[in-house]
Structure 1
Amino acid sequence: MATEEQGPTSGLTPHLTIGGGRAAEAIDFYARAFGATERMRMPADDGKRLMHAHLLINGSSLMLNDDFPEYRGGSAEGAPAGLTLHLQVDDADRWFERAKQAGATETMALQDMFWGDRYGQVTDPFGYRWSIAHALNK
C-alpha cells in the first residue's frame, strides 16, 4: 500500500463520473458521509467542471470527475446498475448513520448477516450504491 503522500501505486481504484456538473458537490457529500479527505482537484478549462479529483476514504483512494459529454458523444447514463462501492469499516452503524445524515438514502437496512458481517447499503445523491460493513467477531 502506498503512503498518503505517494497516492496509489498498485491495486484497484474506483473512478466515478458524476453527471450534471456536480463533482464538487459529490466531494462535499463524500466528506460529510464517509469522512473523505481531498488529495487534489483539477478544474477544467471552463472553470466550472472538474477534470479530475482524488479523495481518500477509510485509507483507500477514490477518483472522480465531472461528465464531459462533448468528449464521448453523449451524456452520462447515471450510475451503472451493477456497481456497488464497499466500505469495510470499524463501526458500520456509525458510518451508516453518518451517510444517511449527509443525504444518502437507505436501500438495505443494517443487519447481522449469516456470513459474519453487520452489513447494509445506501445510495448516494449521485446514484451510486455503497455497502457498509464490519465483522461481527471483532
Structure 2
Amino acid sequence: MADTAPPTPVGLIPYLTIPSRGGQAAVEFYRAAFGAEELFRNLADDGERLMHSRLKINGSLIFLSDEFPEYGQTPDIKPAGVTLHLQVDDADEWWKRALVAGGIPLMPLADQFWGDRYGQLTDPFGHIWSIGAPIKA
C-alpha cells in the first residue's frame, strides 16, 4: 500500500460513506467478498476512523471513508437509491465469495431474460451490490 495517495485518474469513482465507524471493517469485507486491493489508506487524527481508503475492485476504483458528523455527514447514514454493479467473469464464484464474507441476498442469483446470470446483495454496511456475468453456454 502506498504511503501517499497516487494521482486520482479522470473518471467516475464511487465514494462510499460507511456508518458507525465501520470503515476499516468495510475494507476487510470488500477484500474477502470482492477481492479488493487496498491501494491507499489514511486514518483520522483519532487513529481509529478511516479518513480515506482507495480500493481496486475488478479493475475499477472505489473510495470509502467512515462518516464524519463534524463535517456535516448525518450519523448512521442509510445508503439508498444506488446499486454498485460488478460485471464479472463468473457470477457464481463472485456471488458465493460475497455471501461467505457476510453479504445478504436481496435478489437471488439466477439466469435472467437479458442474458446475464445476475443477483443483488447488501453488504454489512447497507450498500447494495449487483453481480452479473453472461450466462454460460
- 8 Å CA contact 1:86, 1:131 repeated in 2: yes
* Runs of 4+ residues over 3 Å off in structure 1: 5-8
Cα deviation 1:43-93 (Å, max 9, x = unaligned): 10111101110000000001000000011064143112x110000000000
Q: How does 1:39-54 map to 2 (within 5 A)?
A: 39-54=39-54
Structure 1 vs Structure 2 CA RMSD: 1.7
Aligned to 1:88: 87
In the superposition, the TM-score normalised over structure 1's length comes to 0.90
Measured at CA, do residues 109 and 36 of structure 1 come closer, stay the same or move farther in structure 2, by a change above 3 Å? same
Aligned to 2:14: 14
The 1-side partners of 2:23 and 2:39 are apart by 14
Q: How does 1:2-81 map to 2 (within 5 A)?
A: 8-72=8-72, 74-80=74-80
Secondary structure, aligned partner of 1:21: coil
The 2-side partners of 1:137 and 1:74 are apart by 43
The 2-side partners of 1:73 and 1:12 are apart by 21
- 8 Å CA contact 1:41, 1:54 repeated in 2: yes
- 8 Å CA contact 2:67, 2:73 repeated in 1: no
Secondary structure, aligned partner of 1:16: strand
Which one is further off, 61-70 or 7-16? 7-16
The 2-side partners of 1:9 and 1:41 are apart by 17
- Tell me by how many angstroms 1:34 deviates: 0.4
Query: Which residues of structure 1 form unaligned runs of 5+?
Result: none
Cα deviation 1:76-113 (Å, max 9, x = unaligned): 43112x11000000000000000000000011111111
Aligned to 2:129: 130
What is the aligned length?
Answer: 133
The 2-side partners of 1:132 and 1:71 are apart by 33
Measured at CA, do residues 9 and 94 of structure 1 come closer, stay the same or move farther in structure 2, by a change above 3 Å? same
Percent identity over paired residues: 52
Secondary structure, aligned partner of 1:100: helix
